[in-house]
Each structure stands twice: as structure tokens, then as C-alpha cells.
Amino acid sequence: MSERITNDYGVDLRVDIFESKRATGLEFLVQLKSSTRATKGRIERIRLRLATYNYLVNKLQVVMLVKYIEETNEAYWILLRDIPPPDQTRETFTIQIPKENTLSTISWVNINNHVRKVTEDKLTTREQIEQFRKEFKEYLCPFCGSELISRIDAPADPLEDHWDVRDTFSCGFQRFGNFIEQLCPSDPRFPQFEDFELHYSYIPEEPTHKWQCFAIGKTDMARKLRLGFGLGETKEEARNQILEEYNDYAKNKNN
């Protein structure tokens, strides 16, 4: 049974596979082309946009490309997996379909078996990836997925009676046990620059850095982001040093 797709870019039909009138849950996708006349020789050709190919190749389902020829009332097919990878620098490319691949003589048993194998393989891979994520979750930043770069045991009190683990991740996120010591830029609670109160001091005898600026967090999250001192000939220069440090830390927030 097939269903025409109207709201999926690059896909014209979704074909559900039945066995003895029983739904199997298997399906494959079809991208349709048509032409009034057949091309000469033993090859039919399809012109496809690179963006469409890249979209289709990332689909979980098997994808079939079909070209219908009105003159001969015949259609020719090819599986996306059998198309050589195109040049990624071009906007369009040509797909060649052998004319022995007629839809009227296709072995649906072979297609069924192929779809089943691909579906089972992809489901198995998905389960393995999910299991991998569960097993290695503690080694990834919970906010952005950055890798763990350091794990050390450290004392939790001055007398060293209690110890815990300090984890540091490549994004900057750091935790000691269940306590966050340094924020990940992708944490949705990451503070805005306005969440810091800026304090200034003026030292007129300083030859170059007459102004000093330091930031104090006004919220719990802001207090977890440690910003250094800003120095400058002017008050604005000192402030801009603090702002630049904040921006450097927050630059990956939306990545």
C-alpha cells in the first residue's frame, strides 16, 4: 500500500509493505520523476538536486528513485544506496538507471528482504547507541555533551575526613560531587552579563591602569561564573575587559 506525501521535502510516496494482507510495519520511500520520451541507449537519467540527495540519504527508511516514461508506459528504479556519492560542490547531478531495472519486473521479495534487513540493522544500531549513551552519560557534560577531561578525588573538608570526585569537562563545566563549581555555557541557567554587579576602583598614581573593574554575581548562577579583573586607562576600558572575558566564556552557549 502506498501513500502520497504532500508535506515532506524530497519524498513523493511512502510505501507500506504487507505480507499476505498483513501489515509488517516495514516501509520505504519513493522519489518520483517522469518524462514524456525515453532516452536512447540502455540508461535512463534523472537530474537531482544535491540538497535533495543529502536530505534523502539521511532518512532512516530505504529510499527508491523511480522514473516513469509516458511513451513506453514503463518505469525504471534504483535504490539510493546504489547511487555513487555525488560531488558536494555541485548544485545538481545526474543519476543513471539501468533500463533492466524495470518496475514491471521488479522482485518485490528482494525489496522486502532488503527493507527488512536495513530496518533491523538501523533499529539495532539505534539501540546500541542508546545503550552507549546510558553507559557513558557520566563522562559527558549533561548540558552540551562535551567530553570529560579530568576526574580527581579531592577532600570536601579542611580535615580531609570526607572526599568526593571533581569532574572537569572540555566546555568548562566543573562539578564537585553534586555541587556545580563552574558553569557550562549551554546551561539554560547561564547568567546574562546584566546578572553581574560591576565595582570600580580608581588609582590616579597608576601610570597606565588607573581603573580597575571586578564583577560580583547578583544571582546564584552568576556567582558560579568566575570573572577576573578588568584593567584600563579609562573606566570604559576596564569594563570592556570584563565584558570580553564574559563573552569568551559564553561564546559556545548557542552552539
Same domain for 181 and 75: no
Same domain for 119 and 86: yes
Same domain for 235 and 182: yes
| Residue 29 within a domain | yes
Residue bearing the bigger pLDDT, 229 or 129: 229
Predicted confidence (pLDDT) per residue in 12-69, tens digit: 888 888 887 787 788 889 999 999 998 889 999 999 999 999 999 888 889 999 999 9
Same domain for 91 and 50: yes
| Residue 22 within a domain | yes
Query: Is 50 exceeded by the pLDDT of residue 78?
Result: yes
**Average pLDDT, stretch 116-120?**
87
Same domain for 115 and 156: no
Query: Is 80 exceeded by the pLDDT of residue 199?
Result: yes
Predicted confidence (pLDDT) per residue in 223-235, tens digit: 988 888 899 999 9
**Average pLDDT, stretch 166-193?**
91
Same domain for 154 and 107: no
Confidence tier at 158 by pLDDT (50, 70, 90): confident
| Residue 137 within a domain | no
Same domain for 116 and 160: no
- The residue from 131, 166, 194 where one domain ends is 131
Instruction: List b or e across 176-208, with b for residues whose CB sees 16 or more CB atoms inside 10 angstroms.
Output: beeebebbbbbbeebbeeebbebeeeeeeeeee
Same domain for 108 and 214: no
Same domain for 203 and 90: no
Q: Would you tell me how many other CB atoms lie within 10 Å of the CB of residue 96?
A: 13
Confidence tier at 5 by pLDDT (50, 70, 90): low
pLDDT at 235: 93
Estimate to the nearest angstrom the gap between the alpha carbon of 162 and the chain centroid. 40
Residue bearing the bigger pLDDT, 136 or 107: 107
Same domain for 234 and 181: yes
Q: Which domain holds residue 172?
A: 148-250
Q: Would you tell me how many other CB atoms lie within 10 Å of the CB of residue 255?
A: 8
Estimate to the nearest angstrom the gap between the alpha carbon of 96 and the chain centroid. 31
Confidence tier at 107 by pLDDT (50, 70, 90): very high
User: And the C-alpha cell for 222?
Assistant: 552568576
- Bridge partners of 44, per DSSP, are 97
| Residue 143 within a domain | no
What's the structural domain count of the chain?
2
- The residue from 131, 162, 197 where one domain ends is 131
| Residue 84 within a domain | yes
Give the Cα separation of 138 and 145 in Å (integer).
10
| Residue 121 within a domain | yes
User: And the C-alpha cell for 220?
Assistant: 546564584
pLDDT at 254: 44
Average pLDDT of the chain, as a whole number = 88
- Out of 4-13, 125-134, 136-145, 166-175, least confident range: 4-13
Same domain for 113 and 165: no
53 in helix, strand or coil? helix
- The residue from 102, 131, 160 where one domain ends is 131
Query: Is 80 exceeded by the pLDDT of residue 251?
Result: no
User: And the C-alpha cell for 201?
Assistant: 576602583
Query: Is 60 exceeded by the pLDDT of residue 6?
Result: no
| Residue 8 within a domain | yes
Same domain for 56 and 97: yes
Q: Would you tell me how many other CB atoms lie within 10 Å of the CB of residue 122?
A: 13
Give the Cα separation of 128 and 117 in Å (integer).
16
Query: Is 80 exceeded by the pLDDT of residue 7?
Result: no
pLDDT at 252: 59
